[in-house]
């Protein structure tokens, strides 16, 4: 009986170390080819999300202007959409909360707001992935 069990164990087939190394190498090569494409697409998704959110903020500022007869100043910033800014013109009862929180871009940085803007009546922009003024900035004036 004991010899029969030993024979059945020795007759079982498995993967050799060489076969496992070949499979792992093939998976690594495929991963090296596919990963950069996925990373590039993810970066594009973040930029698209920033553009969409800038459009939404621009629309929200339009509603703010309807309620308050003017836009927040640069100093008041986008915080004026969340809490009543100091120095708000009367009638103060017209101010309405427009957003639950101050929006941040997909990279975790606050959106920038200028009134008056350098490109339009007011500018809303993100500094992009690097978080500083550079060529990758995304602004409301770039949207059509």
Instruction: Express each pLDDT in 93-127 by its tens digit.
Output: 577 888 889 999 999 999 999 999 889 889 999 99
pTM as predicted: 0.66
* Residue owning tokens 């707001």: 113
| 6 in any annotated domain | no
| 10 in any annotated domain | no
Domains held by the chain: number: 1
| 84 in any annotated domain | yes
Q: What is the CATH number of the domain that holds 64?
A: 3.30.700.10
Per-chain mean pLDDT for the chain: 84
| 3 in any annotated domain | no
pLDDT at residue 55 is higher than 90:
yes
How many Cβ atoms from other residues are within 10 Å of residue 141's Cβ? 14
| 56 in any annotated domain | yes
| 8 in any annotated domain | no
Enclosing domain of residue 26: 19-142
| 5 in any annotated domain | no
Q: Are 130 and 123 in contact (CB under 8 A)?
A: no
With 0-12 / 13-18 / 19 or more C-beta atoms within 10 angstroms meaning exposed / middle / buried, residue 88 is: middle
pLDDT at residue 135 is higher than 60:
yes
pLDDT at residue 90 is higher than 80:
no
| 112 in any annotated domain | yes
């Amino acid at each position: 009986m004991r010899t029969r069990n030993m024979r059945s164990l020795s007759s079982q087939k498995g993967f050799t170390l060489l076969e496992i190394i070949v499979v792992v190498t093939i998976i690594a090569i495929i991963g090296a080819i596919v990963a950069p494409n996925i990373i590039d697409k993810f970066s594009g998704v973040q930029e698209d999300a920033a553009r969409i959110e800038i459009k939404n903020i621009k629309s929200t500022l339009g509603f703010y202007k309807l309620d308050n007869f003017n836009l927040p100043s640069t100093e008041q910033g986008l915080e004026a959409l969340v809490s009543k800014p100091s120095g708000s013109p009367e009638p103060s009862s017209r101010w309405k909360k427009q957003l639950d929180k101050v929006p941040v871009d997909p990279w975790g940085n606050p959106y920038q707001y200028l009134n008056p803007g350098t490109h339009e009546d007011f500018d809303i922009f993100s500094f992009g992935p690097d978080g500083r003024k550079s060529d990758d900035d995304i602004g409301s004036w770039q949207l059509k």
